[in-house]
Amino acid sequence: MKKKLNLKQVAEQLRVSTATVSNAFNRPDQLSAKLRDRILKESAELGYFGASLAARSLRRGESGVIGVMLADSLSYSFSDPVANQLMQGIAEVLVEQKKQLLLLSNGVSSAEQSGAETLPDGFILYGALQGNAFEHILRTGKPVVAVDFEFSETASVNIDNEQGAYAIASHALSKDDSSQVAILGLRLIDSARVCRLVSEDLVSQSKEISRSRLAGYLRAAKDKGTNISADKIWHIPINSPERAEIAAREALTSNPLPNVLLCMSDVIALAALRVAHELNIAVPEQLQVTGFDDIPEASRSTPALTTVCQQSLEKGRIAARMLLEGNMNEKRILETRLVVRQSCK
Amino acid sequence: MKKKLNLKQVAEQLRVSTATVSNAFNRPDQLSAKLRDRILKESAELGYFGASLAARSLRRGESGVIGVMLADSLSYSFSDPVANQLMQGIAEVLVEQKKQLLLLSNGVSSAEQSGAETLPDGFILYGALQGNAFEHILRTGKPVVAVDFEFSETASVNIDNEQGAYAIASHALSKDDSSQVAILGLRLIDSARVCRLVSEDLVSQSKEISRSRLAGYLRAAKDKGTNISADKIWHIPINSPERAEIAAREALTSNPLPNVLLCMSDVIALAALRVAHELNIAVPEQLQVTGFDDIPEASRSTPALTTVCQQSLEKGRIAARMLLEGNMNEKRILETRLVVRQSCK
DNA sequence: TTGAAAGCGTTACCAC
DNA sequence: GTGGTAACGCTTTCAA
């Protein structure tokens, strides 16, 4: 195999100037079709297929690469169905627009100077980033779309979590005034362990997703005249089936037994269904279970999950389109939709 | 916000030379700790956090970016549990080694000259790529690790699909000589529709994954004295729950009813479990179901899935390590493991 | 320990 | 329609 050639060497070989070769690749109108065809064909024969991204991007000031940074670790994110659906939507649009996708790892240490945030032409940020990665990205001055969090200076795509939670809780509580309600909550407090809340934990003005959902649940309960005390609310530190099962087992072996279980994610709700099955608790007859997200698995479980559709896929598409179309002032709030299936009629 | 500065301007502001600033970031030993600290601190204040990737990569000839190209479309891959587990393993190692991850879309058209394949220092290729993307990547002369396919000139990580399939089929067929066996196969022929095979379809020397698995099933059947005719083998064009359900429904409403169902992926097997449940066919009493892959969901279904663990996560880790450590001659074959759960005792 | 300068591969302006 | 050439931002050698 011959040594890799660069544009200059190709130009020499073909006995034209570098500008002409460059034009052949980038600006068809700048030369005769005939010459262009010759150049394209012969460079391919020489093993030259186009400019190096580094050089072109240095010169042009843009790379054709879009950076996506996820609040959770990259590795974990690949196991999260919601993140995957979002990525799927993003990827769909980027591929269609011939953009490349750089996955930035949101490391804690600022020391990891790879400078990767300098390459992309724009960013999609999923979830509120901790650390100074966020700041670094803002400093680049490049367009940013925030997904599932809000930042004054950037465009964003969000859903109304409070409203979605209110809707599903209202549905779950509608038939029975004397409900025993338990809540399996995600990331409600700052603890790495599954545990119940205490009453002080309820006072929080946080705008985090999980706090909004909790607020929605509690508002619905209040409207129905139901009370939910702090010890009926579980905190789950991470959206994993294993942790969720632990919490579900605690909740479903507590006394009095809840007959409505509001779960802050479908992963948690699915875990609850498994635990209920294992404990011979009939769903929905003895226990109503609700989820949140509407991940693909939600419609396939037995019983199928009643949940709130937050359109993660569409969210990804929209975020990507906003970024590419440059709507950098838009603050988009997507509709949520109550999806009633068997787990909570 | 101030205009973005470059290294040269930072050097001017700090009244040192560009080389000194560069050294402060890249070669701590080339200057006094004191000066270095001052430079780092003051550049951060000026909003300079390190070199632009394009420029550094142009100059140094390496970027710190690893490219991953998937045989299936990027968007689809995010919905595939096996691909996601692989990516999880890859991401784990790359983050740990402070490498960035560029996801290359395997577009069909060679026209999409984004030149993205010129940036990465190395590639992980998952599945046999169609089109000339593969050739382009090889031409770069950069290290490549092939996953789940074999190419003479590159390192690779594979499993022995024939053997894994043989093992699970032997297990499934061990108790009953008069088994009615059906196979739900993935990508066995070149058709976009779910359909049964005909006998001509059985002759194939292809080394594709699905063909190896089929060979393993058939060898096991032969060893047990069971015959499996072509019309008991279904072709499913894509590993999606929807398609799999169609095939499963066909198979489980055919006459004579199969009592052993060998599925070439867990996604397919899980679909089969759902269909069996819907048709009131008891698993494993009336119907034994086996999967392949051991995705996380396999252990969570009811009944839990008997399957072949192919260690997708570890596969990703190993591929990434091989690439980073530069073992470019290694051809690694990972062990598969039979995982017996309730769906096929 | 520091500074000047060459050059990485490309593009785009401006002449011809 | 075509060809010089400066500039993109940085690293690294070499000399001071």
Of A282, A297, A296, A252, the C-alpha closest to A345 is A282
Of A66, A74, A101, the C-alpha closest to B93 is A74
Neighbour-count burial of A157, counting CB atoms closer than 10 A to its CB (0-12 exposed, 13-18 middle, 19+ buried): buried
Contact indicator for A108, A127 with CB cutoff of 8 Å: no
Check residue A130 and give its pLDDT: 78
Label residue B108 by pLDDT band (50, 70, 90).
low
Does residue B106 or residue B292 have the better pLDDT? B292
Average pLDDT, chain A: 92
A44 touches strand D (CB under 7 A): no
B103 touches strand C (CB under 7 A): no
Check residue A113 and give its pLDDT: 58
Interface contacts A/B by beta carbons within 8 Å: 178
Label residue A13 by pLDDT band (50, 70, 90).
confident
Distance between CA B6 and CA B47 in Å, rounded?
9
The number of helices, as runs of H, and strands, as runs of E, in chain B is 12, 13
Whether the predicted pLDDT of B67 surpasses 90: yes
Do residue B78 and residue A55 have CB atoms under 8 angstroms apart? Answer: no
Q: Average of pLDDT values for A91-119?
A: 82
Give me the percent of chain B exceeding a pLDDT of 70. Answer: 96
Helix ranges (H only) for chain B are 7-14, 18-26, 33-46, 53-60, 74-77, 81-96, 133-139, 161-173, 209-223, 241-251, 266-278, 312-325
Radius of gyration of chain A (CA): 26
Distance between CA A182 and CA A257 in Å, rounded?
9
Whether the predicted pLDDT of B235 surpasses 80: yes
Check residue A109 and give its pLDDT: 52
Residue that is written with structure tokens 């930072």 in the block: B10
Spell out the domains of chain B, with CATH numbers in brackets: 7-51 (1.10.260.40), 65-159+314-324+327-334 (3.40.50.2300), 161-311 (3.40.50.2300)
Label residue A177 by pLDDT band (50, 70, 90).
low
Q: Average of pLDDT values for A149-156?
A: 94
Contact indicator for B71, B146 with CB cutoff of 8 Å: no
Out of A1, A64, A115, the one facing B52 most closely (by C-beta) is: A115
**Beta-bridge mates of residue B100:** B65
**Beta-bridge mates of residue B339:** B307
b (16+ CB within 10 A) / e for A71-96? bbbbbbbbbbbbbbbbbbbbbbbbbe
| Least confident residue range of A278-292, B122-136, B272-286 | B122-136
Classify residue B341 by its DSSP letter.
-
Q: Average of pLDDT values for B214-226?
A: 95
Check residue A12 and give its pLDDT: 86
Whether the predicted pLDDT of B109 surpasses 60: no
| Least confident residue range of A205-214, B191-200, B219-228 | A205-214
What is the tens place of the pLDDT at every residue in B156-210? 999 999 999 999 999 999 766 678 999 999 999 999 999 999 999 998 877 789 9
The H or E element containing residue A171 is helix A161-173
- Which residues, 6 or more positions from A185, have their beta carbon under 8 angstroms from its beta carbon? A197, A210, A213, A214, A233, A234, A235, A236, A264
Check residue B31 and give its pLDDT: 87
Whether the predicted pLDDT of A317 surpasses 80: yes
Q: Which nucleotides of C are covered by protein (CB under 7 A)?
A: 1-5, 7-13
Q: Amino acid identity of B16?
A: V
Check residue B168 and give its pLDDT: 98
Whether the predicted pLDDT of A67 surpasses 70: yes
Distance between CA B154 and CA B331 in Å, rounded?
8
Give me the percent of chain A exceeding a pLDDT of 90. Answer: 73
Distance between CA A307 and CA A289 in Å, rounded?
9
B59 touches strand C (CB under 7 A): yes
Check residue A4 and give its pLDDT: 79
Angle in degrees, CA A269, A314, A116, rounded to 5: 100
Chain B residue with the nearest C-alpha to that of A87: B78
Q: Average of pLDDT values for B213-217?
A: 97
Q: Which residue is nearest to nucleotide C11 (CA to C1')?
A: A59
Average pLDDT, chain B: 92
Distance between CA A270 and CA A303 in Å, rounded?
10
Cβ-based contacts of A94 with chain B (< 8 Å):
74, 105
- Which residues, 6 or more positions from B153, have their beta carbon under 8 angstroms from its beta carbon? B138
Distance between CA A105 and CA A87 in Å, rounded?
14
Do residue B53 and residue A136 have CB atoms under 8 angstroms apart? Answer: no
Cβ-based contacts of B73 with chain A (< 8 Å):
91, 95
Check residue A209 and give its pLDDT: 94
Residue that is written with structure tokens 């030379």 in the block: B17
* Chain B touched by A49 (CB under 8 Å): yes
- In angstroms, the Cα distances linking B301 to A30, A239, A291, B269 are 61, 18, 18, 10
Q: Average of pLDDT values for A1-21?
A: 83
Cβ-based contacts of A57 with chain B (< 8 Å):
54
Give me the percent of chain B exceeding a pLDDT of 90. Answer: 74
DSSP labels for B69-92?
Answer: EESS-HHHHTT-HHHHHHHHHHHH
Check residue B110 and give its pLDDT: 45
Whether the predicted pLDDT of A80 surpasses 50: yes
A56 half-sphere exposure, CB direction, 13 A CA radius = 20
Chain A residue with the nearest C-alpha to that of B86: A78
Q: Average of pLDDT values for B135-160?
A: 94
Distance between CA A155 and CA A143 in Å, rounded?
8
| Least confident residue range of A93-102, A110-119, A140-149, B82-91 | A110-119
Do residue B74 and residue A64 have CB atoms under 8 angstroms apart? Answer: no
Q: Which two tokens mark B51?
A: 């070199």
**Portion 80-139 of A in contact with B at CB < 8 A:** 84-85, 87-89, 91-92, 94-95, 98-105, 107, 112-116, 118-119, 136, 139
Does residue B123 or residue A203 have the better pLDDT? B123
Please report, rounded to whole angstroms, the spatial distance between the CA atom of protein residue B320 and the C1' atom of nucleotide D8: 33
Whether the predicted pLDDT of B333 surpasses 90: yes
Whether the predicted pLDDT of B155 surpasses 90: yes
Label residue A223 by pLDDT band (50, 70, 90).
very high
CA B34 to chain A, closest CA, distance in angstroms equals: 18
Of A178, A222, A214, the C-alpha closest to A197 is A214
Q: Average of pLDDT values for B101-111?
A: 73
By three-state DSSP, how is residue A317 classified? helix
E strand residue ranges, A105-160:
122-126, 144-147, 155-159
The H or E element containing residue A195 is strand A195-196
